[in-house]
Structure 1
Amino acid sequence: MTPAPTSLPQRFTAIAAATEQRLVDALADTALAGERRRPDRLMAAMRHGALDGGKRLRPLLVAETAALFDVPLEGAITTAAAIECVHCYSLIHDDLPAMDNDLLRRGRPTVHVAYGEATAILAGDALLTLAFDLLTGEDAHKSPAVRIALVRLLARASGLGGMVGGQMLDLAAEGRFADGVPLDLDIPEIRDLQAMKTGALLAASVEAGAIIGGAGPEACAALAAYGTALGAAFQIADDLLDVEGTSEAMGKQVGKDSEAGKATLVSALGVPAAREVLASLVTEATHALTPFGAKGETLAAAARFVAERQN
């Protein structure tokens, strides 16, 4: 038997390929039971937004956390794909003219540029609802109780008290409502905003793997600490890349956060201090994995990758 790949690049490659195939299957043209038909233009837009893109960090977190409890990749991949559907929907909607008005995503036209705003909105809506469809199937988990727990986890991480709520706070911090005066957020408020908008789905990816693996209370607490620190680190690294990165490397326009007056820890603290916070968060994340010994090394490497990535 060929041993499973263990290095982070190998795991990224294997999990991304499995996620891609699960998404290809989920986005097939054939209507499922309870569906009448799948409109061609809608399917093309959904594929444009969900396939052939990104590092698939969230699927990696799901699969590698589940692997701590000896769950094979095939036992975690449907949940991983469901969370990726939510992530991709959020990018489609974030790119819309009413939100960030981005023209490029992953080095190619955003969905609204390629298919129009109305189709992009519907493609995002459809990917969001597809995520919950995937989680209700037995291939997500044989236990109905586990599937219910996964549905609730994803709903709360992605909804009004999580990602969507965080996006609302982000828009308000830009002065997009009422009299156009931006919210004057202090550092704890910026942390809250970022924990909701970005961190919630990353932390949920870790928690989903723990749920699939049947983790006990102590393991869940350790993984929650890891996921929270990782999510915060990811956002700071992303904000640093917006300041220091290039459009070519990022595959999207950079420098837009400062132009829009977004509230970030980089803008509040400055680059050197933000880098110190980032390093501290990576240390916090890796330390949280101590109970798992060598089995947690891939997740520890993922935390370091988040801080060091160039795109």
Structure 2
Amino acid sequence: MTTEPNELPVQVRSRTEDRNPRTEAIDTEDAAGIVRLITSEDAAVAGAVAAAGDRIAALVELGVHALAGGGRVIYAGSGTSGRLAVLDAVELLPTYRVGEDQVTAFLAGGGEAMTRPVEGAEDDPAAGACAVADVTGADLVIGLAASGRTPYVRGALVAAAERGARTGLIACNPGAELATLVDVAVLVDTGPEVITGSTRMKAGTAQKLVLNTFSTAVMVRLGKTYSNLMIDVLPTNEKLHGRIVRMLEQATGRSAQECGAVLAEAEDPRTALVCLLADVGVAQARDALADNPPDPARNEDPSGIRSAVIAART
């Protein structure tokens, strides 16, 4: 970004840009002292995220509503914030069988910005608006910006709202200016960074925690787990195939050999799980699951597994 002669550069008003009095002498410390300062500051991040729990829960409700209604969850961010959003979105496919048609992320500067800085990309609100040009009223668009002011994110949120989408913000600035534009603002007060303005540190950690919490809670409410076990893992490699077999063991108490055999016959974890829990054949398990599909409105059994087991046994 360049400025005209006599024009002052943009001044970001955020606690993440303040100087941290606890680390002013960090450059006089040895390695152990530097690590101690960094980790002591990091220790406060989880508490700051927990303090925003009510707002995260409100955002989860919007996410569940969007995906259960056939809409999408769309992240928009730049720099560290945007890269964390991309990471969260892509990891949902192998973990919960949720692809980019349901949860996706737009990073200022595009794919190239995942591995290298793209100069000026975050300052382009038109690019943010273009990224979400096809959103509808069924979608949820979540902007991520440590400072809560990034122009690219502003463009995405304004455009999304104009198209009737619900909107959210994840930021680390209690006074985030974009908070007034969204339905739900999650503002985590992480305070000054160890190194002034280096928001890849505490702010980045906080945003990662919020994203983990948000997307996991949404997936649980959508019935992607049975108890605390993943039942929609996509077995794209041997490790994940083994995880499914282990999940069946943990859920049913049956042997690995029996679980593996039933999984091979059933061809998917849900059907295999109902077969083993209800002690029924594949056809009967599939019928029971068809009558009890995942439903976030089903209290205490959003996955439908418990209901399917009861139905299969009767």
- Give TM-score scaled by structure 1 length: 0.23
More helix by share: 1
